[in-house]
Structure 1
Amino acid sequence: MVFLAAPIAGCGSGRPESARLPALGPVPAITALEQIARPIDPYLPAASQVKELHQAIDAVTARCVKTYGLPSIPTMSADFEDVALQNRARNQLYGFFDPGVTATKGYDVETVMSGHPVQPTEADIAVLSGHSGTGAVVTTYDGKPIPAGGCHQVGVDAVDGDPPTPGSGVSLPDGGPPVPIGDPRVVRADTRWSACMKAEGYSYANPADAYADAKWRPVGNTLSRPDATRKREERATATADMACKQETDFMGVAIAVQSAYDRQYIASHSAALKAFTEHLDDRVEKAAQIMATDGTETG
């Protein structure tokens, strides 16, 4: 199962002193999600890398489960390219930005589950996780020892840990570049955006608050259809949000400021980023070797 990086979570978001603010480069014109580009992008885990790691974990896990005489549990496939794109659309600095979907999906917060995943048996759960369905540790199955963490952990260990999230900086050294929500240039952009939204009848201090409004989140059963009135309000709010971002050039300013902090972070973490990239490459190479041995294509 693949999860998006925390959409409103950031690190190092204090208010910097003006004298120490990193210098801005050009302020880009951003009118579409695909136009968001940052200096940190080349260091982010790629969708193809994450896909290979997940495939290798699944292969090793299935091989382990088979030794217990159990059938492997089909895994739910994920479009890792889309996961990376969705992570780009969500950020503590700008909340949500994807003008192409707001008229129909609003802030696109509902989780859509397709198909009917196979329900694991108690035996499956024990062998896969090393725990029972109630969370109790299980150490054997049919007289055979179960490794700590179960067969899934065996798969994870084979590629040196859980895969990172594609397109997200949370796995980078020190959690990636700081998110400059307190930078006065961002604060001024927030103020302009907020005034624009107020003129449209909405009261939010910044774009992240609009996206994070609890009204948009499903309550109870997340697979149930959202309330029609609430969804209309969400679409209207998100559409106004996108329009105000365009009118005030919010995205251009936000990405220019974030890029300045990206450059500062890259300069101060060059050795750590090199080590991170090399280790990720090594992990992907291990995954490729596993898949070659398994006889499964990775494409």
Structure 2
Amino acid sequence: MGMLNKCRPLVVLALLGSVATGCANGEPSPRDAQAKGTLRIDRSDAYYEGREIKLPLDEYALTKEQRRDYREAVYSLSSACMKGFGLSWPKPVEQESREGDNSRRYGVVDGRYTKKFGYGVPLPDGVTQAEALKLGRQNTDRTRALPQKTRDVYTGERVRNYAGKTVPKGGCRGEAYGKLGLPPQGMTSTTLDALRYESWDSARNHRIVLDAVVQWSACMSKAGYTYKTPEDAVADSAWQRQGEPSRAEIATSTADVRCKRDAMLVEKWHAIEVKNQERLTQEKADVLKGLGDQVNALAERIAQVRTEG
């Protein structure tokens, strides 16, 4: 079989912005191998078919499963506190998206879901948009229907004593946070969020990604859509809805993903952001070590609550 039949698309991207193309099946040329500041990126259709997007800073945050366990632990601890006052607090019913934590970091990218959900978040199997909205309203309504004093004991607002007992700072919710080693306002991630945004924004404004966005826009134009950026497409007011997506939304979002694939937009954006975050893990090593220690300690306390519960 000839070389042309074996060749897979590859781009060798200089981090300063120049682009060269070649084949990904063989070794790079000596010139490519010796080039400094370059980034080899293979075309990968898996990005558009549900591949999990991972980034270096992910390890300094709770996983999706750990966040679910965290919410369970807060409910368990705060409910025990409420019972001590002769009160109860409703447990919210949750519906988790089928997507991973970083699945929307570069916009809508999973073509399997756009055909059904358009630009909306994929719902659990068998759940309609109307049912999801109804569930959200029910959670809110259950809380609002509680007596004001019950809500005050839970949050610690406007009350210091109830039923002859002192209400803890931050209420029963604040007590739950405290038992998990957290401040009265609960889990915060301001520092990590800032680093994540820095890495995302820097990659988004890199020339390589900007060029890919231009390619994406041209592809969308050929398909009949006039959007300059993926952000413009997802923010179209026509998609602001409460019901199921329209045929137009499904067609647009499906073309959006196809054009991202054609431009290798996600491959390029992800690769550059990985490099950005690798740099940040070195520059902010002390800060990140502290965050990592806090996350590990919180995970241990959550596991302990689950064991005791």
Interval of TM-score (by shorter of Structure 1 and Structure 2): 0.7 to 0.9
Partner-residue secondary structure (3-state), 1:24? strand
Q: Distance in 2 between matches of 1:257 and 1:150?
A: 44
SS in 1 for 2:199: coil
1:108 equivalent in alignment to 2:108 = no
* Counterpart in the other structure of 1:6: none
Partners in 2 of 1:170 and 1:31 — Cα distance? 30
Equivalent residue in structure 2 for 1:160, among 166, 181, 184: 181
Residues 201-280 of structure 1 correspond to what in structure 2 (within 5 A)? 201-218=224-241, 224-225=242-243, 231-280=246-295
CA distance in 2, matches of 1:206, 1:254: 14
Classify 1:163/1:34 alpha carbon distance in 2 versus 1 (closer, same or farther; 3 Å): farther
Match in the other structure for 2:84 = 67
Moved more, 118-127 or 193-202: 118-127
Q: Which amino acid aligns with 1:62?
A: S
Matched residue pairs, number?
256
Q: Which residue does the alignment assign to 1:191?
A: 214
Q: Return the offset for 1:214.
A: 2.9
**Structure 2 gaps, min length 5:** 1-14, 19-35, 122-128
Task: Tell me the alpha carbon deviations over residues 144-172 of structure 1, each in whole angstroms, 9 at most, x when there is no partner.
Answer: 332332111111222233346xxxx8662
User: Could you state the TM-score of these two structures normalised by the residue count of structure 1?
Assistant: 0.74
* d(CA) in 2 for partners of 1:256, 1:41: 15
**Structure having greater relative contact order (Cα 8 Å, sep ≥ 6):** 1
SS of residue in 2 equivalent to 1:281:
helix
Secondary structure at the counterpart of residue 138 of structure 1: coil
C-alpha spacing 1:263/1:31, structure 2 compared with 1 (3 Å): same
Letter in 2 for 1:280: V
Distance 1:199 1:77 in 2: 41
CA displacement at 1:78 relative to structure 2: 4.9
The corresponding residue for 2:170 is 149
SS of equivalent to 1:178: helix
Query: Does the Cα contact within 8 Å between 1:106 and 1:238 map onto a contact in 2?
Result: yes
Instruction: Give the superposed CA RMSD.
Output: 2.9
| Cα shift at 1:243 | 1.1
Residue type of the alignment partner of 1:160: G
Matched, 1:127 2:153: yes
Find the aligned partners of 1:86 and 1:254 in 2 and give their Cα distance: 17
Q: Give structure 1 stretches of 5+ with no counterpart.
A: 1-15, 132-136, 219-223
CA contact (8 A) 1:27 1:256 kept: no
State the 1:18 CA deviation.
6.2
User: Residue type matched to 1:125 in 2?
Assistant: R
Higher helix share: 2
Larger radius of gyration: 2
Specify whether residues 175 and 39 from structure 1 end up closer, same or farther in structure 2 by C-alpha distance, changes over 3 A only.
closer
Residue identity matched to 1:208: E
Distance 2:286 2:52 in 1: 29
Contact 2:180 2:302 in 1 (8 A): yes
SS in 2 for 1:101: helix
Code of the residue aligned with 2:212 in structure 1: it is: A
Match of 1:175 among 195, 198, 211: 195
CA deviation digits over 1:230-286, x for unaligned, max 9? x22211110110111122222211212222212222221222222211211111112
Structure 2 CA distance for aligned equivalents of residues 259 and 41 of structure 1: 11
TM-score (norm 2): 0.72
Q: Is the CA contact (8 Å cut-off) linking 1:22 and 1:260 kept in structure 2?
A: no
Shift in CA distance, 100/291, structure 1 to aligned 2, threshold 3 Å: same
